[in-house]
Amino acid sequence: MAQSLDSATRDALAERLRFYRDLGLTEFYQRPVDPALMAQLAARPEEAQTETSQPVLFQEEAPIPSRKHISEPPQVVAAIPAADHAAALQIIRDEIGDCTRCALHKGRNKLVFADGDPNARLMFVGEGPGADEDAQGLPFVGKAGQLLNNMIGAMGLKREQVYIANVVKCRPPGNRTPEPEEGNTCSPFLFRQIDVVQPQVLVALGATAATYLLGMRQPLAGLRGRVHAFRGMQLIITYHPAYLLRDPRQKKEAWADLQIAMKELGLKPPSKA
């Protein structure tokens, strides 16, 4: 039997519901809720409507990526005060939990949520964890991560000053590209991370990140070298560091892309000693 809630507890629960809703964590509302609790919250029309509406965090039938596969990026949520970014990200991490929402959970050692400053002005988005990331639970810590660190350093920043996340949070077997169903299932969490951090500049590393951020698939060559408007931020698309390790000749092109990001951020390269 559910116990009756006092007014303070009810207000606290209502506030928590609003907080989740503002983050876009709509799945929270789909969990089984005690009917007695529902009845009490229904006394507050706004919360009652939220509880009984049917927002969907994950689509029952994920669209199949080819070009039509990519889900439209969700709408931007209201800005979250900078002081609350870390807590808001932790709520998203808690919501992911020990996730089994897609098949990638079967082969993972550690789920890779993100790394960096919750209030960063610059955010990088990659594809998914590799072997080193899967072992350590952090994004971009292998060879490609070392290159990314160097790229960040060349921009005059430290890794701790940026925020780094991936389209999928579990390692695809053999480092393959995430299947559409996997990307569509996991990327809503990425969008929520972006909406919390709200960087001024977002850099998509590689075609997979660009595809899910833009909601459409296009050749990388046609997307690089310019600024895309994205949810009130500037999106710049460049090569994935793993690709640059395979073809170092493209580093120059990637650096040109990063210089666009630097210009947007008002950064100058560190002077050589």
By three-state DSSP, how is residue 80 classified?
coil
Which lies closer to ligand SF4 via its Cβ, residue 121 or residue 171? 171
Site for ligand SF4 in 105-134 (CB under 6 A): 105, 111
- Using CA atoms of 135, 136, 140, 145 in order, give the dihedral in degrees to the nearest 10: -90
The nearer residue to ligand SF4, 92 or 151, going by C-beta atoms, is 92
Binds ligand SF4 (CB under 6 A): choice among 99, 154, 265, 267: 99
Burial of residue 62 (CB within 10 Å: 0-12, 13-18, 19+) is: middle
Distance, in Å, from the CA atom of 204 to the CA atom of 150, rounded to the nearest integer, reads: 17
DSSP per-residue string spanning 227-266: EEEETTEEEEEE--HHHHHH-GGGHHHHHHHHHHHHHHHT
Q: Which of 101, 110, 228, 263 binds ligand SF4 (CB under 6 A)?
A: 101
The answer to whether 102 contacts ligand SF4 (rule: CB under 6 A) is yes
Choice from 168, 204, 207, 244 touching ligand SF4 (CB under 6 A): 168
Kindly determine how many residues on this chain lie close enough to bind ligand SF4 according to the rule CB under 6 A. Answer: 14
Decide if 123 contacts 204 (C-beta within 8 A): no
To the nearest whole angstrom, how small is the minimum distance from the Cβ of residue 189 to ligand SF4? 7
Sign, CA dihedral 201-135-128-255, equals positive
Q: Is 61 helix (H, G, I), strand (E, B) or coil?
A: coil
The answer to the question of residue 44 lying near ligand SF4 (CB under 6 A) is: no
User: Stretches 25-33, 75-83, 168-176, 264-272: which one binds ligand SF4 (CB under 6 A)?
Assistant: 168-176
- Site map for ligand SF4, 58-97, x if CB under 6 A? --------------------------------------x-
Task: Considering only the stretches 64-72, 75-83, 180-188, 208-216, report the one whose residues sit in contact with ligand SF4 under the rule CB under 6 A.
Answer: 180-188
What are 124's strand-pairing partners?
164, 203
Query: 184-213: which residues touch ligand SF4 (CB under 6 A)?
Result: 185-186
- Decide if 238 contacts 257 (C-beta within 8 A): yes
Nearer to ligand SF4, 99 or 245 (CB): 99
Residues within window 245-264 making contact with ligand SF4, judged by CB under 6 A: none
> Which helix (DSSP H) or strand (DSSP E) does residue 163 occupy?
strand 163-166
Residues that bind ligand SF4 in the complex, under the rule CB under 6 A: 96, 99-102, 104-105, 111, 168-170, 182, 185-186
